[in-house]
Chain A
Amino acid sequence: MRLAVLTYRWCAALLLTLAGMTVQAQDQSPVYVEPATVPDTVAAAYRMGDFAELERLYAMYGKAGVRSELTGNPRVEHFWMGIAKIDDSNLQVTEGYYLQLDALTSLWTREHPRSVLAQLLYVRALRAHAWVYRGDGYANTVSPAAWAGFSKYIDLALGQLRRSEALATYDSSWNEMMLVIGRDLNWDRQSLMAVFEAGVAKNPDNDSLYFAMEEALLPKWGGDLEAVDRFIAEVVKSTRDKRGLEMYARLYAGLSYGELHQTLFTSTGASWPHMKTGFEDLLKRYPHTDHQNMYAYFACMADDRPTLREQLEVIGDKFEPIFWGDYPERTFEMCKKLAGQT
Chain B
Amino acid sequence: MERIKAKWLTVALCCGALLYLAKPAIAGAPTFKDLLAEEDYALVSQMVEWDKRAFALPEDLELDGPLREAAATLLQAHVARVRELIPAWIAQERAQAGVPDLRGRALSQPIYHRMINEMAIWSVESAGPAHDEAWLNAALAPRACSVIPQSRFAQRMALIQAAPPSSRQALLAGERQLMSRWGTKREALPPRPSTADLDAVDQAIIRVRAGLQVSAEPMTPFLAVQIFYRLRKPGQSDRWEQCAKSQWWLASQLASGKADRTLALAVYRYTTMLDVREFVPDSAMKPPASLSAGGNGPYPPTAAYFNVEGTTTVQAETDDHGKLLKAQVVSRKITVSGVRENRPVAFESLLDAATLDVAAKRHYPDGKATSDRFDIAWHLE
Contact with A96, one of B143, B145, B208, B217 (Cβ below 8 angstroms): B208
A51 within 8 A of B: yes
Q: Is A101 an interface residue (CB 8 A)?
A: yes
Is the C-beta of A32 less than 8 angstroms from some C-beta in chain B?
no
Q: For residue B144, give the distance in angstroms from its CB to the closest CB of chain A.
A: 8
* Chain B min CB distance to A179 (Å): 25
Interface hit among A86-94, A238-246, A301-309? A86-94
Flag if B221 contacts A49 (CB, 8 Å). yes
* Contact assessment for A93 and B230 in the assembled complex, using a CB-CB cutoff below 8 Å: yes
Contacts of B221 in A (CB 8 A): 46-49, 86, 97, 100-101, 104
Q: In this assembly, does B61 line the interface, its C-beta being within 8 Å of a C-beta of chain A?
A: no
In the bound complex, do residue B142 and residue A97 qualify as a contact, i.e. CB atoms below 8 Å apart? no
A5: interface (CB < 8 Å): no
How many chain A residues touch the partner (CB < 8 A)?
Answer: 24
Select the residue from A46, A48, A50, A101 with max chain B CB neighbours within 10 A: A48
Chain B interfacial residues counted at CB < 8 A: 20
Is B32 an interface position by the 8 A CB rule? no
Q: Are B225 and A48 in contact (CB under 8 A)?
A: no
**With A46-B221, A48-B222, A107-B218 as given contacts, are A93 and B143 in contact (CB-CB < 8 Å)?**
no
A49 and B230 contact, CB distance less than 8 A: no
- Is A31's beta carbon under 8 Å from chain B? no
Q: Which of B142, B221, B227, B229 has the most CB of A within 10 A?
A: B221
Annotate A54-97 by CB proximity to B: 1 below 8 A, 0 otherwise.
00000000000000000000000000000000100001111111
Q: Quick check: is B220 within 8 A (CB to CB) of the other chain?
A: yes
Task: Say yes or no: is B228 at the interface (Cβ < 8 Å to chain A).
Answer: yes
Q: How far is the CB of A115 from chain B (nearest CB, A)?
A: 16
Cβ of B224 and Cβ of A96 under 8 Å apart?
yes
Is residue A103 contacting chain B, with contact meaning CB distance below 8 A?
yes
| A283 in the interface (beta carbon within 8 A) | no
List A contacts of B217 (CB < 8 A).
107
The answer to whether B146 has its CB under 8 Å from any CB of chain A is yes
Chain B neighbourhood of A44, CB < 8 A: 146
Is B231 among interface residues, defined by CB-CB distance under 8 A? yes
Assess whether B143 is in contact with A50, with CB atoms less than 8 Å apart.
yes
Q: Are A92 and B230 in contact (CB under 8 A)?
A: yes
**Contacts A47-B221, A107-B218 given; does A96 touch B146 at CB 8 Å:** no
- Interchain CB contact under 8 A, A50 and B142: yes
| Interface membership of chain B positions 163-188, coded 1 if the CB is closer than 8 angstroms to chain A and 0 otherwise | 00000000000000000000000000
A107 to B221, alpha carbons, bound, how many Å?
A: 14
Residue A52 at the B interface, CB < 8 A?
yes
Bound state CA distance, A103 and B145, in angstroms?
A: 20
Contacts A91-B225, A93-B224, A96-B224 given; does A48 touch B231 at CB 8 Å: no
Does B227 lie within 8 Å of A96, measured CB to CB? yes
A329 at the interface (CB under 8 A from B): no
Nearest neighbor of A87 in chain B, beta-carbon distance: B221
Which of A50, A100, A106 contacts B224, CB < 8 Å? Answer: A100
Pair A48/B146 contact, Cβ less than 8 Å: yes
Residues from 122 to 150 in B contacting A, C-beta threshold 8 Å: 142-143, 145-146
A53 in the interface, Cβ–Cβ < 8 Å? yes
Which B residues are in CB contact (< 8 Å) with A46?
221
A101 to B223, CA, bound (A): 11
**Cα of A106 to Cα of B225 in the assembled complex, Å:** 18
Structural contact, B146 and A92, CB atoms closer than 8 A: no
* Residue in chain B with minimal CB distance to A54: B142
B218→A48 contact, CB < 8 A: no
CB atoms of B142 and A93 under 8 A apart: no
Measured CB to CB, the nearest residue on chain B to A53 is B142
Which listed residue, A48, A101, A103, touches B142 by the CB 8 Å rule?
Answer: A48
Q: Please, which residue of chain A has its CB at the minimum distance from the CB of B227?
A: A96
Task: Write the chain A residue with the least CB distance to B211.
Answer: A96
A50, A92, A100 — most chain B CB neighbours (10 Å): A100
Of A47, A50, A92, A103, the contact of B218 (CB 8 Å cutoff): A103
- In the assembled complex, B373 has its CB within 8 A of some CB on chain A: no
* Contact across chains for A92 and B220 when beta carbons are under 8 A apart: no
Bitwise, A275-319 to B at CB < 8 A (1) or not (0) is 000000000000000000000000000000000000000000000
Bound together, the chains give a CA A25 to CA B211 distance in angstroms of 45
Please, how many angstroms separate the alpha-carbon atoms of A86 and B225 in the complex?
9
Contact (Cβ within 8 A) B222 A100: no
Given contacts A92-B229, A94-B228, A96-B209, A104 and B142 within 8 Å (CB-CB): no
B198 at the interface (CB under 8 A from A): no
The distance in angstroms between the C-alpha atoms of A126 and B291, with both chains bound, is 56
The answer to whether A52 touches B142 (Cβ under 8 A) is: yes
Q: Given the interface contacts A50-B142, A52-B142, does A101 sit within 8 Å of B229 by beta carbon?
A: no
**Which 9 pairs between the two chains have the least Cβ-Cβ distance?**
A50-B142, A103-B218, A49-B220, A104-B218, A97-B228, A100-B224, A96-B228, A93-B228, A100-B219
User: Could you tell me which A residues sit within 8 Å of B by CB distance?
Assistant: 44-53, 86, 91-97, 100-101, 103-104, 106-107
Given contacts A93-B230, A104-B219, 9 further A-B contacts (CB under 8 A): A48-B142, A49-B220, A86-B221, A92-B230, A97-B224, A100-B218, A101-B221, A104-B218, A106-B218
26 chain-A/chain-B pairs, Cβ below 8 angstroms:
A46-B221, A47-B221, A47-B222, A47-B225, A48-B142, A48-B143, A48-B220, A48-B222, A49-B142, A50-B142, A91-B225, A92-B229, A93-B225, A93-B230, A94-B228, A94-B230, A96-B208, A96-B211, A97-B225, A100-B224, A100-B228, A101-B218, A101-B224, A104-B218, A104-B219, A106-B218
